Structure 1
Amino acid sequence: MRTNLDFSPLFRSSIGFDRMLNALEAASRAETIDTWPPYDIAKTGENDYRIVMAVAGLSQDELAITQEQNMLIVAGQKANSDDVEYLHRGIAGRSFQRRFELADHVKVVGAGLVNGLLTIDLKREIPEEMKPRQIEIRTGQGMPKAETKQIEAKKQAA
């Protein structure tokens, strides 16, 4: 049983959440879930994340990692070796493209390939102007006095 959610009431009453609502709509429309290659997503710190993807049989030259705005794309293309005749082929050697939607201010800080595991480290770096800041509260003595300005009217001759 599949339930389609209607987000249109939220679009009418919210401002600035359109990216999140679009992502929810896209997730609800996803019909097939590709499970290859398998991967893990782990939170390794308050603002640190790690994606570990099993890409056995692929070399560094056959993998590509691209970040476009808030989308991380990991692609793999196995080089064809037509000179081998397989009697049984159980190791997946197909091409893939895996997409990860990233939140605002999440950046890829590094990637590595060790023992068939591709590790991608990510970090959320919130700009200084968006971080919470403490506002100093001054006492009544140090407060500047608000000046009242007189609006001068032009005098008209009668």
Structure 2
Amino acid sequence: MRNDFDLTAYRRSTIGFDRLFDMLEGRMRAEAGDNYPPFDLEKLSDDRYRITLAVAGFGPDDIEIVAKQGELVVTGRRTEDRDDGDYLHRGIAARPFERRFELADFVEVRSAEFANGLLTISLEREIPEAMKPRKIPITGTNPPLSAVETEREAA
């Protein structure tokens, strides 16, 4: 599917949203380009997610996962030549790849597992205590007024 949506008009009329527009334009370019390797993105709960990439033809040593400020990068490069047969057809792609995922604030990679040609990456959003809403107790130095004092102040 081709997407020719131009964000220039929005860039001119907004201030401070540069990163958002860069991300949207980058995503549109990525979706128009190569979709290898295919992946699933699951929401397991409000704060837990899982990315599963189909990486048939690669082994755990051929894949690198790097989490940096707001981004997860999964790179695959075969370290050894596995051309050990006389193929009539070679349909399992094993070309190098790089998949990038934008991470929201406080989303961290918890683990990565490789099994049966699938790479599974578990993510979790953990908001620091200082950022969570908290209820502030109200204290006072004046004791509550008695009924007699309340009537006196009203008069």
TM-score of Structure 1 vs Structure 2, range by shorter chain: 0.7 to 0.9
In structure 2, C-alpha distance between the alignment counterparts of 1:21 and 1:128, rounded to whole Å: 30
- Deviation, 1:70, is 1.1
TM-score normalised according to structure 1 size = 0.76
In structure 1, runs of 5+ residues without a counterpart are 144-158
The 8 Å contact of residues 52 and 121 in structure 2, kept in 1 or not, is answered as: yes
Aligned residues: 139
In structure 2, C-alpha distance between the alignment counterparts of 1:142 and 1:98, rounded to whole Å: 63
Distance 1:19 1:131, change over 3 A: farther
Distance 1:31 1:103, change over 3 A: closer
Distance 1:92 1:3, change over 3 A: same
Distance 1:97 1:28, change over 3 A: closer
- Deviation, 1:24, is 2.5
The 8 Å contact of residues 76 and 97 in structure 1, kept in 2 or not, is answered as: yes
Aligned match of 1:68: 68
Distance 1:28 1:9, change over 3 A: farther
Aligned match of 1:124: 125
Residue deviations 1:91-134 (CA, integer Å, cap 9, x gap): 11111110111111111000001111110000111111111111
- Deviation, 1:28, is 4.4
TM-score normalised according to structure 2 size = 0.78
In structure 2, C-alpha distance between the alignment counterparts of 1:35 and 1:47, rounded to whole Å: 26
What pairs with 1:9-158 in structure 2 (closer than 5 Å)? 9-11=13-15, 14=16, 17-28=17-28, 30=30, 32-78=32-78, 79-138=80-139, 141=142
In structure 1, C-alpha distance between the alignment counterparts of 2:24 and 2:110, rounded to whole Å: 26
- Kindly indicate which of the two structures has a greater share of residues assigned to helix: 2
The 8 Å contact of residues 42 and 49 in structure 1, kept in 2 or not, is answered as: yes
Aligned match of 1:3: 5
- Deviation, 1:87, is 1.9
The 8 Å contact of residues 55 and 118 in structure 1, kept in 2 or not, is answered as: yes
